[in-house]
C-alpha cells in the first residue's frame, strides 16, 4: 500500500485536478490511499471568514466567494447537472447555518469546524472526478479516522484509537479502488472537528501510512524535491536527492516548508519511506527520505517569516535562574508554543517564536506579573544548515540584526526584513 498526499497548490483549479488524476492513474494498479488538502488558498479564505465572523464583519460575502470558487472548479470537471452541484449548495447552507448558531462558541472550536470544510469540499469534488475518469473511489471522512485530544487546533493524535479506526475503516476499500481522504482534520472524543495545524496534511498522510503499515508516503509538490533553498527566493537552489530522517527532521524543525515537521517521526519509527516528488513531472524521482547513511549535503538556507522576539527581564534585581526559567517553560508548554531560538543572559531570557493565533498575547498575560516583557514582531529567521564560509558570505548584510547564533551544525540570524532578499549570490551583491 502507498499513501499519496496532494497539497492545495496541486488542486488549485480544474486543470490541476486533472493533472493530479493523471498522476494517480500511473499508480492505479496499486493499493492507494490519497490524502488531499483544500483547493488553492481555500484555507486562508476560510480563516478570513472566521475572522470576519468574530469581528462582526460581512462573512457571508466571503463565504459566497469560496462557494463560487468550488463550483467553478467542479464545472471544469463534472458534467452539467451532476448530483454534486446540489450537494455543494446544501453544504454551504449548512456551513452558514452553523455559523449563525455559533455565537458564543470558542474561537478555536469554530475555527476548526470552519476550515475543515476546505478539505471536505476538495475531496468530494476530486472523488467524483476520479470515480468517473480513473477508478472506483471511496470517500472517507478523516474525522471518523483520526482521533485527537481536545485542543481544537494543533491537536495531538490519539494513536491507539486512530490506528483502530483506520485499520477497520480503510483496507476493505483499497482492494478494488482508490481511497480518498482529507488531510489536516480529525475529531475529538465528543465528535467535534479538530485540526492538526496549518500545512498539517503531510502529517495526516503519515498517520494513515503508519496505521496501515504502508510501504511509503509520497508528497507531490510544486517543486522538484527537497531543495537547498526556496527556489522562488533563490533560483540557484539545487535538489537534494537523498536525505536521512534525521536530516529531514532538522530541516523541517527550522522551518523548511517542504513537509510538516510532525510528519517525519512516525515514518522514521516505522521505517516508512517518504518521497517528495514534483506533480508537474511525475516521471522524476525527486527526493527520498529514509534510513540511509548521513551524507555531506550542500548548505541549505531556510527562511521563516512572521517571527516574534520576546524578552523576559527579571524585575527584582535577582537573576535568571532555574526557577525563573521553569516559570517561562511552563507557560510555553501550557500554550503549546515551540521556540525557534533562545538565549539567556544574567537578567533576561529571550525567545523567538512563530506568530500564531493569539498565543503571544496569552503568553504575555501569563507572565507579565513575573517579568518585564518586551515583544518585537514582524521579524524573519534565517537558518543555514551545513553552513560553511562560502554559504555565510552569501548572506546580505542587514542594518538591523536582532540575534545571531552559530553552532557547528547550524547558523541562525534573526533580523528585521528589508526589501532585498537575505541570500544573495556574489553577482547580485555586486549589482
Binding of ligand ASP by 261 (CB under 6 A): no
Question: Burial, 116: exposed, middle or buried (Cβ in 10 Å; 0-12, 13-18, 19+)?
Answer: buried
Site for ligand ASP in 200-219 (CB under 6 A): 200-201
Q: Which residue has the cell 478570513?
A: 48
Binding of ligand ASP by 199 (CB under 6 A): yes
| Helices (H), ranges, 170-321 | 171-174, 201-212, 245-253, 264-269
What is the phi/psi pair of residue 324, to 5°?
-65, -45
- Judged by beta carbon, residue 44 or residue 315, the one nearer Mg ion is 44
Instruction: Residue 284: count other Cβ atoms within 10 Å of its Cβ.
Output: 11
Binding of ligand ASP by 177 (CB under 6 A): no
- Judged by beta carbon, residue 205 or residue 414, the one nearer ligand ASP is 205
Instruction: Select from 6, 7, 126, 217 the one that contacts Mg ion (CB under 5 A).
Output: 7
Binding of ligand ASP by 50 (CB under 6 A): no
Compute CA 309 distance to the chain's CA centroid, rounded to the nearest angstrom. 22
Residue 301: name the closest of 390, 420, 399 by CA: 390
Cα 197 from Cα 176, distance rounded (Å): 32
Q: Which residues contact 200 (CB under 8 A, 6 or more apart)?
A: 183, 184, 260, 262
Stretch that binds ligand ASP, among 168-176, 192-200, 377-385, 396-404 (CB under 6 A): 192-200
Stretch that binds ligand ASP, among 196-204, 281-289, 364-372, 386-394 (CB under 6 A): 196-204
Residue 8 beta carbon to ligand ASP: minimum distance, rounded to whole angstroms: 5
Q: Which three cell numbers stand for residue 308?
A: 516574534
- Judged by beta carbon, residue 8 or residue 177, the one nearer ligand ASP is 8
Binding of ligand ASP by 186 (CB under 6 A): no
Q: Which residues contact 105 (CB under 8 A, 6 or more apart)?
A: none
Binding of ligand ASP by 278 (CB under 6 A): no
Residue 143 beta carbon to ligand ASP: minimum distance, rounded to whole angstroms: 14
Task: Compose the 9-48 pattern: x for residues touching ligand ASP by CB under 6 A, - for all others.
Answer: ----------------------------xx----x-----
Site for Mg ion in 16-45 (CB under 5 A): 37
Coarse DSSP helix, strand, coil percentages of the chain, rounded to the nearest 5 percent:
40, 25, 35
Residue 294: name the closest of 214, 229, 240 by CA: 240
Task: Compose the 117-146 pattern: x for residues touching ligand ASP by CB under 6 A, - for all others.
Answer: -x----------------------------
Which residues here bind Mg ion, judged by CB under 5 A?
Answer: 7-8, 37
Which residues here bind ligand ASP, judged by CB under 6 A?
Answer: 7-8, 37-38, 43, 118, 183-184, 198-201
Amino acid at each position: 500500500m502507498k499513501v499519496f498526499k496532494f497539497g492545495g497548490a496541486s488542486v488549485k483549479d480544474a486543470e490541476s485536478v486533472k493533472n493530479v488524476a493523471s498522476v494517480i492513474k500511473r499508480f492505479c494498479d496499486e493499493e492507494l490511499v490519497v490524502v488531499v488538502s483544500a483547493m488553492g488558498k481555500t484555507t486562508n479564505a476560510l480563516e478570513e471568514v472566521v475572522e470576519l465572523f468574530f469581528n462582526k464583519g460581512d462573512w457571508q460575502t466571503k463565504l459566497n466567494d469560496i462557494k463560487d470558487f468550488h463550483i467553478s472548479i467542479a464545472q471544469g470537471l463534472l458534467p452539467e447537472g451532476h448530483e454534486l452541484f446540489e450537494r455543494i449548495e446544501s453544504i454551504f447552507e449548512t456551513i452558514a447555518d452553523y455559523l449563525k448558531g455559533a455565537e458564543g462558541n470558542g474561537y478555536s472550536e469554530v475555527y476548526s469546524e470552519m476550515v475543515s470544510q476546505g478539505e471536505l469540499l476538495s475531496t468530494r469534488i476530486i472523488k467524483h472526478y476520479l470515480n468517473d475518469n480513473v477508478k472506483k473511489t471511496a470517500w472517507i471522512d478523516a474525522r471518523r479516522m483520526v482521533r485527537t485530544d481536545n485542543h481544537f487546533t494543533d491537536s495531538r493524535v490519539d494513536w491507539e484509537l486512530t490506528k483502530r479506526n483506520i485499520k477497520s475503516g480503510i483496507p476493505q476499500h483499497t482492494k478494488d479502488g482508490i481511497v480518498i481522504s482529507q488531510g489536516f482534520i480529525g475529531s475529538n472524543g465528543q465528535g467535534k472537528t479538530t485540526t492538526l495545524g496549518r500545512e498539517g496534511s503531510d502529517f495526516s498522510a503519515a498517520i494513515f501510512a503508519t496505521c496501515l503499515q504502508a510501504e511509503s508516503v509520497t508528497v507531490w509538490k510544486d517543486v522538484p524535491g527537497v531543495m537547498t533553498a526556496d527556489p522562488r527566493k533563490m533560483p540557484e537552489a539545487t535538489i537534494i536527492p537523498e536525505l536521512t530522517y534525521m536530516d529531514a527532521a532538522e530541516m523541517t524543525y527550522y522551518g523548511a516548508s517542504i513537509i510538516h515537521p510532525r510528519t517525519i517521526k512516525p515514518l522514521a519509527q516505522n521505517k516508512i519511506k517518504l518521497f517528495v516528488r514534483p506533480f508537474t513531472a511525475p516521471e522524476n524521482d525527486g527526493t527520498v527520505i529514509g534510513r540511509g547513511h548521513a551524507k555531506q549535503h550542500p548548505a541549505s538556507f531556510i527562511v521563516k517569516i512572521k517571527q516574534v522576539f520576546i524578552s523576559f527581564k527579571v524585575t527584582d534585581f535577582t537573576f535568571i535562574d532555574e526557577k525563573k526559567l521553569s516559570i517561562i517553560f511552563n507557560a510555553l508548554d501550557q500554550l503549546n508554543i515551540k521556540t525557534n531560538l533562545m538565549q539567556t543572559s544574567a537578567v533576561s531570557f529571550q525567545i523567538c517564536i512563530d506568530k500564531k493565533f493569539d498565543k503571544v498575547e496569552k503568553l504575555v498575560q501569563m507572565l507579565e506579573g513575573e517579568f518585564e516583557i518586551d515583544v518585537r514582531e514582524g521579524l524573519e529567521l534565517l537558518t543555514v544548515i551545513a553552513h560553511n564560509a562560502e554559504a555565510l558570505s552569501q548572506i546580505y548584510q542587514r542594518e538591523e540584526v536582532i540575534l545571531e547564533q552559530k553552532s557547528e551544525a547550524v547558523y541562525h540570524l534573526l533580523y528585521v526584513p528589508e526589501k532585498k532578499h537575505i541570500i544573495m549570490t556574489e553577482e547580485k551583491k555586486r549589482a
